[in-house]
Structure 1
Amino acid sequence: MRICPRFGCSILAASLALAILPAPAAADDEPQVLATIDGEAITSADLELLCTSRGLAYPVEQPLRAQLLNQLIDRRLIRAFLDRRKVVADPDQVTARLDLIRKVISASGEDFAKVLERLGYTEDSFRREIALPLAWQAHINATVTDSQIREYFSAHRAELDGTRVSARQIVLLVKDDAPSREEAETRLQQIRADLLAGNVSFADAAREHSDSPSGRDGGELGTFPRHGAVAEPIARIAFSLKPGEISEPFQSSRGVHLLEVTDRTAGNLSLEDVRPQVLRRLSQQTWQQQVAAERERTDIRILD
Structure 2
Amino acid sequence: MDGQPITDRELDRELARVVGQRPLTPVAIGQLREATLAQVVDRTLVAQHLEQTGFGATDQEIERELQRIRKRLEQQQLTLDQYLQRSGLTRDELRRTLAWQIAWPRFLEKHLTDPNLERYFQQHRRDFDGTQVAVAQILLRVESPDDPQSRAATISTADKLRSRITAGELTFADAARQHSVAPTAADGGRIGSIGRRGPMPEPFSQAAFALDTGQISPPVVTAFGVHLIQCLEVQPGTKNWQDARPELEAAVIQHLFRWAADRQREKVKK
TM over 0.5: yes
Q: Which residue of 2 aligns with 1:151?
A: 119
In 1, the alpha carbon distance for the partners of 2:268 and 2:165 equals 51
- Aligned with 2:44: secondary structure? helix
Corresponding position of 1:129: 97
1:171/1:153 Cα in 2 relative to 1: closer, same or farther (>3 Å)?
A: same
TM-superposition CA deviations, 1:102-142 (whole Å, max 9, x none): 8xxx9xx9x89766531134799647525514421211212
Residue type of the partner of 1:37? D
Which residue of structure 1 aligns with residue 5 of structure 2?
41
Answering whether residue 153 of structure 2 is matched by residue 185 of structure 1, we say no
Indicate conservation of the 8 Å contact 1:163/1:226, yes or no.
Answer: yes
Residue 86 of structure 1 and its aligned partner are, at CA, apart by 4.8
Instruction: Report the Cα distance in structure 1 between the residues aligned to 2:181 and 2:114, rounded to whole angstroms.
Output: 47
Quick one: distance in 2 between partners of 1:169 and 1:285? 29
- Is 2:205 the partner of 1:235? yes
Deviation, 1:163, is 1.0
TM-score, length-scaled by structure 1 = 0.62
Instruction: Trace 1:54-203 onto structure 2 (pairs within 5 A).
Output: 54=18, 62-84=30-52, 85-88=54-57, 116-121=84-89, 126=94, 129-130=97-98, 132-175=100-143, 176=150, 178=152, 181-192=155-166, 193-194=168-169, 202=173
1:31 maps to which residue? Answer: none
How far residue 150 of structure 1 moved from its aligned partner, in angstroms, is 1.8
Letter in 1 for 2:221: S
- Provide the aligned length of Structure 1 versus Structure 2: 247
Match of 2:254 in 1: 284
Look up the equivalent residue of 1:275 and give its one-letter code.
Answer: R
In the aligned structure 2, how far is the partner of 1:169 from the partner of 1:76? 39
Long gaps (5+) in structure 1 = 1-35, 300-304
RMSD: 4.2
* Aligned-partner residue type, residue 155 of structure 1: Q
Q: Say if 1:168 and 1:221, in contact at 8 Å, map to a contact too.
A: yes
Q: Is the 8 A contact 2:136 2:191 kept in 1?
A: yes
The one-letter code of the counterpart of 2:258 is Q
Counterpart position of 2:232: 262
For residues 257 and 157 of structure 1, the distance between their equivalents in structure 2, rounded to whole angstroms, comes to 25
Give the AA of the match of 1:261. Answer: C
2:147: which partner in 1?
A: none
Whole-angstrom CA distance in 2 between matches of 1:297 and 1:68 = 22
Report how far residue 240 of structure 1 moved. Answer: 3.1
Letter in 2 for 1:189: S
CA distance in 1, matches of 2:12, 2:160: 47
TM-score (norm 2): 0.68
Identity %: 29
Q: State how far apart, in whole Å, the 1-side matches of 2:112 and 2:257 are.
A: 12
* C-alpha distance in 1 between matches for 2:79 and 2:2: 31
Check the 8 A contact 1:163/1:225 in 2, yes or no.
yes
Aligned with 1:264: secondary structure? strand
Question: Could you tell which deviates more after superposition, 213-222 or 233-242?
Answer: 233-242
* Residue 222 of structure 1: how far off its partner (Å): 2.3
Residue 271 of structure 1: CA displacement?
Answer: 0.6
